[in-house]
């Protein structure tokens, strides 16, 4: 087997989104082609509610999926399909925007430190206009696998015969939350044709013998069929994701991701005309 070597290490960048939420972008629009099928990863973490309480008011999505994972804290979701809920410590919200959804996300004030992530997964051309759907997965539905000095939460995909709760996906991906004890090692086999990355958010870790990498860094992993990580003396925690590339054109503007400029123009025309979503409820009715 061949270990995946590091292609690059990139610190997440401070960014302001929504109504003024301060967050950190691990990768986004400019990196989307090489991160295929993944489009974006945002890390929102702060001990100051003023950094996040403004939230993300009503906004549209089409053509991809959003995966919101709360490590600690709470986020309220409401959409024009009538879905409403709060995801808390360890919960996941997997939302398929498909043909079009309009929603809002409101962080709830937390005592102490709040942290969560939102990963965007592209949809293939054949499913860009699929019916929207929303799935809320609670922490107790996400299995944990203990291997040596590692504890791994399997959100999607499979590890040591244990399958995550998020299944029947349009794109083949794995999404893991890996926590390593001090000095512990972790290895995981992956399809050699898949894109893979890690995002460190606690402690220090090396990958395939690399130098120690601190928290809040994106680690792009190269070709190979095995991912190997080693924790520093204080342990480490990181997200690990891999997925089968779509190899399709990306046309991206704002919160709509299609394959062509014509499709983008059509989406925004429908937004202006009020025909963007096919659901019965309007955002005002869903409130």
| Average pLDDT, consecutive stretches of 10 residues, N- to C-terminus, the chain (287 residues) | 94 96 97 97 95 94 97 94 92 96 91 93 97 94 95 96 93 97 96 97 95 97 95 97 98 97 97 81 37
**Are residues 195 and 245 in contact, defined by beta-carbon separation less than 8 angstroms?**
yes
Helical ranges in 128-223 per DSSP H: none
* Nearest CA-CA partner of 96 in 77, 69, 122, 126: 122
Neighbours of 167 (CB within 10 A): 9
50: Cβ–Cβ under 8 A, 6 or more apart, which residues?
A: none
229: Cβ–Cβ under 8 A, 6 or more apart, which residues?
A: 178, 180, 185, 186, 187, 198, 205, 206, 207, 236, 238
Neighbours of 268 (CB within 10 A): 15
Separation between Cα atoms, residue 42 and residue 272, nearest integer Å: 28
Predicted pLDDT of residue 64: 98
Q: Maximum CA pair distance of the chain?
A: 57
Domain map of the chain by residue range? Answer: 6-281
The CATH topology of domain 6-281 is: Jelly Rolls (2.60.120)
Predicted pLDDT of residue 278: 67
Residue with token string 């059509």: 266
Q: Angle 135-138-139 (CA atoms, 0-180°, nearest 5)?
A: 140
């Amino acid at each position: 087997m061949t270990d995946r070597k590091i292609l690059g290490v990139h610190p997440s960048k401070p960014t302001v989104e929504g109504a003024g939420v301060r967050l950190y972008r691990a990768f986004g629009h400019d990196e989307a082609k090489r991160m295929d099928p993944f489009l974006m990863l945002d890390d929102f973490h702060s001990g100051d509610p003023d950094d996040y309480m403004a939230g993300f008011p009503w906004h549209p999505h089409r053509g991809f999926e959003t995966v919101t994972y709360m490590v600690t804290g709470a986020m309220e979701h409401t959409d024009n399909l009538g879905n409403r809920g709060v995801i808390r410590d360890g919960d996941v919200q997997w939302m398929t925007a498909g043909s079009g959804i309009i929603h809002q996300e409101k962080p709830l004030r937390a005592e102490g430190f709040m942290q969560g992530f939102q990963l965007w997964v592209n949809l293939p051309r054949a499913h860009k206009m699929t019916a929207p759907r929303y799935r809320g997965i609670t922490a107790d539905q996400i299995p944990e696998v203990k291997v040596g000095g590692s504890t791994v939460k399997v959100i999607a995909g499979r590890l040591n015969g244990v399958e995550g709760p998020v299944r029947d996906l349009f794109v083949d991906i794995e999404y893991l939350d890996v926590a390593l004890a001090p000095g512990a090692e972790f290895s995981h086999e992956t399809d050699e044709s898949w894109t893979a990355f890690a995002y460190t958010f606690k402690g220090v870790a090396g990958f395939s013998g690399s130098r120690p990498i601190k928290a809040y860094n994106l680690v792009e992993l190269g070709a190979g069929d095995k991912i190997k990580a080693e924790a520093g003396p204080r342990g480490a925690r990181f997200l690990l994701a891999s997925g089968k590339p779509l190899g399709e054109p990306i046309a991206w503007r704002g919160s709509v991701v299609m394959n062509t400029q014509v499709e983008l123009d059509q989406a925004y025309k429908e937004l202006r005309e009020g025909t963007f979503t096919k659901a019965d409820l309007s955002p005002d009715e869903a409130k």
